[in-house]
Structure 1
Amino acid sequence: MFTGIIEGVGHLAARQPQGGDVRFTFATGSLPFEAVQLGESIAVNGVCLTVTAFDAGSFQADASTETLSLTTLGALPEGALLNLERAMRPTDRLGGHLVSGHVDGLGKVQSVHGDARAQRWRFAAPAAVLRYVAKKGSICVDGVSLTVNEVDEDGFEVALIPHTVANTAFAQTAVGAAVNLEIDLVARYVERLLGTRGAA
């Protein structure tokens, strides 16, 4: 599990095809990387990946064909900036919201506008994602926990403060870019619970 609070910004250093899958090498950049272990989970732009090898400044992870088709990872160019977060520990503060690292759909940056010192970002999103999005609720965009300011039938809007922009890959995310979206786990389980009660 993750919190959606980005710990560091790295970049895609290399990709190597592996029989239909891809082995990625990610430069860790500003991510605190002490005591990393083989097999631990790291969220890369909101996608939970398993560390298969590492050194002082990078780690490798494999992505299956399904992961490549359902997330933005398959289309990332080498050098692309990436939001990185190591899995949370039981003693960590939950500064964002509970994030699983399982992408629910792809969105698209529709517009970015200044709003005092903040920026208002609008994202287009599929209906299957938007049904779970609520005003003032949480959503994870490329691994970043954000609060929804507005939502309609076509997309949603959030406000990014200068600190968030400066310390995430949003600093180089352009209008038209695809993004990974993960809905709030609470919304998912509430719907499941209500559906089960209805069936009973």
Structure 2
Amino acid sequence: MFTGIIEDVGTIDKLEKDGGNLHITVQTSITNELKIDQSVAHNGVCLTVVDLKEDSYTVTAIQETLDKTNLGLLKEKEFINIERAMKLGDRLDGHIVQGHVDQIATCTTIKEENGSWVFTFEYDKSLNNITIEKGSITVNGVSLTVVNSQLNSFSVAIIPYTFSHTTFKTLKIGDTINLEFDVIGKYVKRLNDLRN
């Protein structure tokens, strides 16, 4: 369980294919606080730490994860959003995030607005995921509030702190991002679909 509040921006140190799996080695300032078997979200994807070195750690993404997220598009030396699992009893500063990416989306516009930024994303509506105005959404692991909710797109407003402390500072039009839709909204939609 995560909150969508990014702890660090790591750097992809090494990518190694192993059959259908991808071993991802990440350098980050929180490496010394990690342990083997720990869950860590990478651009919003929950992965298990399988190896630790002095200043880096390794996780493994299986083929299904690579097919449904943007992790298969990673390149060495790229940045990645990092969040450790939440601790019971801590404040829930973002929203309830499972680390289970629902689908990918494409960044279609980036608009600077006098000190903040508005990013717009388009996604495949045939997968039946929805956003609502002022609802929660997780973009590459970052907990955000939806603005301009449409049938297959939405926007988010990014404050300077979030821009500087996440991979939003490197995001470009055309980039593929991971989306995790609000878990409560997913259950409500599923129950409504079963009634109809």
Counterpart-to-counterpart distance in 2, 1:131 and 1:38: 34
| Structure 2 match to 1:66 | 64
Q: Secondary structure at the match of 1:188?
A: helix
Structure 2 unaligned regions, length at least 5: none
TM-score (norm 2): 0.94
Matches within 5 A, 1:27-46: 27-28=27-28, 30=29, 32-46=30-44
**Code of the aligned partner of 1:88:** M
After TM superposition, give the deviation of residue 34 of structure 1 in Å: 4.3
| Structure 2 match to 1:122 | 120
- Identity over aligned residues, as a percent? 39
Matches within 5 A, 1:189-200: 189-195=187-193, 198=195
What are the superposed Cα offsets for residues 127-158 of structure 1, whole Å, 9 maximum, x if unpaired?
A: 14674200000000000001001112331011
**Code of the aligned partner of 1:182:** E
Counterpart-to-counterpart distance in 2, 1:38 and 1:132: 35
Q: Secondary structure at the match of 2:130?
A: coil
| Structure 2 match to 1:3 | 3
Counterpart-to-counterpart distance in 2, 1:177 and 1:194: 33
Counterpart-to-counterpart distance in 1, 2:155 and 2:127: 14
Matches within 5 A, 1:168-187: 168-187=166-185
Q: Does 1:76 align with 2:67?
A: no
Aligned length: 196
TM-score (norm 1): 0.92
Structure 1 unaligned regions, length at least 5: none
What are the superposed Cα offsets for residues 88-120 of structure 1, whole Å, 9 maximum, x if unpaired?
A: 110221111111111111111111111121101
| Structure 2 match to 1:23 | 23
Q: CA RMSD in A?
A: 1.6
